[in-house]
Structure 1
Amino acid sequence: MTNPKIAVIISSTRATRFADKPTEWFMKRAARRTDLDFEVVDLRDFPLPFFNEVASNAWAPTQDEVGVRWQQKLAEFDGYVIITAEYNHAPTGVLKNALDYAYPEWNKKPVTFVGYGSVGAARAIEQLRQIAVELQLAPIRAAVHIQGADFFGAWQGGQSLDDMAHLEPSVTALLEDLAWWASALKTARQAVTPPQEIQTSSSGE
């Protein structure tokens, strides 16, 4: 079986976003894995309009071209790491919109988070875990929270996340858990009998 493919989603699109620093920091560590393949997916490259479809693509095809392109991109992956800020105790609006723009593409795949902010985006991540469950994603326990002095030091104090050795155990735990869940769920998805084969078998009896 080929390595599970993981999307690292940058979920802030502001011109002055901090997200690029934790993304670069995380990707350096992710690149050391030999059992997972990673790709950065930037929401700036998918300028989704505010959701205005007749329904979720679980029920009706999406008409917006960018929405379709977003769904096609998500379908390439076996799991997701979301780099997330926290705005007023919540995820970014563009991230919530992007989550809503797909459904079957998310199903039965693991997701985890690298959060940053005064409390490491802990409150936003709790909300994202609830949303993930509704999308039939499998949110894993391990996450990274870049918070307090670490966040302000990297944001405004000229410090480097690479020098913050105390963050390493959390990113290691995240990657270990992600590797297990991505492999297990990929195997399970591939083992499911396609619905059309079930129907053919039933109709022949």
Structure 2
Amino acid sequence: MTKIAIVTGASRPGSVNKSVAEWVLAQVAGRSDAEFELVDVADFNLPLLDEAYPAMYQNYQNDHTKSWSAKISEFDGFIFVAHEYNHSAGPVLLNALSYLNAEFNNKAAGFVSYGSMGGVRAVEHLRGVLSELQVAHVRNQVMFSLFTDFENFSKFQPTEQSAGTLAPMVDQLIIWTRAMEAVRAEQLAVTSV
């Protein structure tokens, strides 16, 4: 069964990020075409990147990196829940992505973003980072506005219009995730020759 992680993008106390991720998980819970799991970056206590070797070597020295690597390796695809911070993705998510490399290669990703402009700029930056990690990212994107999808900028209450964009993104993500499974199998066949 295809496994997709719903990855949080913030660890700041009081952040709405986890509530958005939990909403995504609740919305996809009834699907039978993939398994979904919430992966909270905060649970891994990743300090500012502290590995001595570049991630591409997978020569991890720290237990938190080994744990993060093992968890990400379990999945075929990802839904990143990203907030916009200083016209980019949040630093916690960018730091978490920087810890790994091969664990993300030839997998697929979709985005659920939020911010004053729907988190568009955060996702624009994430697309570049994920391209370098060889992650195929789907076009469809879910965007929530702090002005219309959050009560008092703090309680997540998506409008019907915004919420309706999730299913098409997930549909596309599952197709791409399955296609990337074939790419990984081909890559494995080539490298083991």
Per the TM superposition, whether the score is higher than 0.5 is yes
Aligned with 1:76 (options 74, 77, 81): 74
Work out the number of aligned pairs and report it: 192
- Aligned partners of 1:154, 1:170: CA distance in 2, in Å? 22
Aligned with 2:96 (options 84, 94, 98): 98
Aligned pairs for 1:1-205 within 5 A: 3-153=1-151, 155-156=153-154, 160-161=157-158, 164-192=159-187, 193=189, 195-196=191-192, 198=193
Question: What is the CA-CA distance between 1:169 and the residue it aligns to?
Answer: 3.1
The 10-residue stretch of structure 1 (36-45 or 139-148) with the greater mean CA deviation from structure 2: 139-148
Question: What is the CA-CA distance between 1:154 and the residue it aligns to?
Answer: 6.5
Question: What is the CA-CA distance between 1:24 and the residue it aligns to?
Answer: 2.2
Aligned partner of residue 106 in structure 2, secondary structure:
coil
- Aligned partners of 1:136, 1:109: CA distance in 2, in Å? 7
- Aligned partners of 2:170, 2:99: CA distance in 1, in Å? 26
- Aligned partners of 1:195, 1:116: CA distance in 2, in Å? 39
Tell me the amino acid that sits aligned with residue 167 of structure 1: S
Higher strand share: 2
- Alignment RMSD: 1.7
- Aligned partners of 2:164, 2:157: CA distance in 1, in Å? 17
Question: What is the CA-CA distance between 1:32 and the residue it aligns to?
Answer: 2.2
- Aligned partners of 1:99, 1:127: CA distance in 2, in Å? 12
The 10-residue stretch of structure 1 (165-174 or 73-82) with the greater mean CA deviation from structure 2: 165-174
Instruction: Calculate the TM-score normalised by the size of structure 2.
Output: 0.92
- Aligned partners of 1:32, 1:150: CA distance in 2, in Å? 26
- CA distance change for structure 1 residues 113 and 4 in 2, over 3 Å: closer, same or farther? same
Percent identity of equivalent pairs? 31
Question: What is the CA-CA distance between 1:148 and the residue it aligns to?
Answer: 4.6
Q: Would the aligned equivalents of 2:3 and 2:36 in 1 still touch at CA under 8 Å?
A: yes
CA offset digits 1:145-182 (Å, max 9, x no partner): 001532343634x6732xx2112331111111011001
Gaps of 5+ in 1: 199-205
Instruction: Calculate the TM-score normalised by the size of structure 1.
Output: 0.87
Q: Would the aligned equivalents of 2:16 and 2:156 in 1 still touch at CA under 8 Å?
A: no
Runs of 4+ aligned residues of structure 1 deviating over 4 Å after TM superposition are none
Tell me the amino acid that sits aligned with residue 147 of structure 2: A
- CA distance change for structure 1 residues 27 and 57 in 2, over 3 Å: closer, same or farther? same
